[in-house]
Structure 1
Amino acid sequence: MLSRTRKIAAAVGVAATLAFGVTACSGKFSEPFKDAPRSGNDNGAPADVIRMPDGFSNAASKCDGPNRVYVLYHGDQAYGDIAVVKDDPRCTK
């Protein structure tokens, strides 16, 4: 049998691990810009947002020079996607 001290130490270890897991895994939605380094923001023109029904990923698209960039985003989930349409005619200035 484990001694009382070992039981307490094990309980503290489990509690610390759970506390770390809850705080370390807080979502991408609540911590914006926790991604790769960036050189700046492009807040000039708004993105075209496509809102899907609950349970489906939302999408946004925006021109980056001559290319249109599509990004899928699903709330706080750990997945998403990106696609680029090279030389999109809608992105000419």
Structure 2
Amino acid sequence: MKVRRLAAAAAAVAALLALSTGCAKFVEPYKDAPRSGHDNGAPADLVRMPDGFSNVATKCDHGNRLYTAYHGDKGYASIAVVRDDPTCAKN
């Protein structure tokens, strides 16, 4: 009986640890590089793709168009830049 109780307690602790680490992304602070400011001007244009494909965000920055491809909440993305994009006004 004591072995069962110990096994049940160990299983409960393991389940609790699994649940708490699964939600750690929501309480983890951003680990961004240092930055000099924020661009809270115009919002980025989003291109949402069907499930299984990466989404894209695009925004102008000082006359250059930036594209960032991301996939959900994953820790990776790719970036492309169109230098001196005529659709972007220099600021």
TM-score by shorter chain over 0.5: yes
Task: Kindly provide the CA deviation profile for residues 50-92 of structure 1, in whole angstroms up to 9, marking residues without a partner as x.
Answer: 0100111110100000100001111122321111110000112
Task: Report the TM-score, using the length of structure 2 for normalisation.
Answer: 0.64
Structure 2 CA distance for aligned equivalents of residues 22 and 55 of structure 1: 22
TM-align CA RMSD: 2.9
Structure 2 unpaired stretches of 5+: 1-13
Task: Kindly provide the CA deviation profile for residues 2-57 of structure 1, in whole angstroms up to 9, marking residues without a partner as x.
Answer: xxxxxxxxxxxx89x9689646666xxxx697243112211111111101001111
Q: Percent identity?
A: 56
Alignment match of 1:76 (pick from 56, 73, 79): 73
What amino acid is aligned across from residue 40 of structure 1 in structure 2? Answer: G
Q: How many residues align?
A: 87
Structure 1 ranges of 4+ moved more than 3 A:
17-26
1:46 aligned partner = 43
Task: Report the TM-score, using the length of structure 1 for normalisation.
Answer: 0.63
**CA 1:25/1:45 → structure 2, altered by over 3 Å: closer, same or farther?**
closer
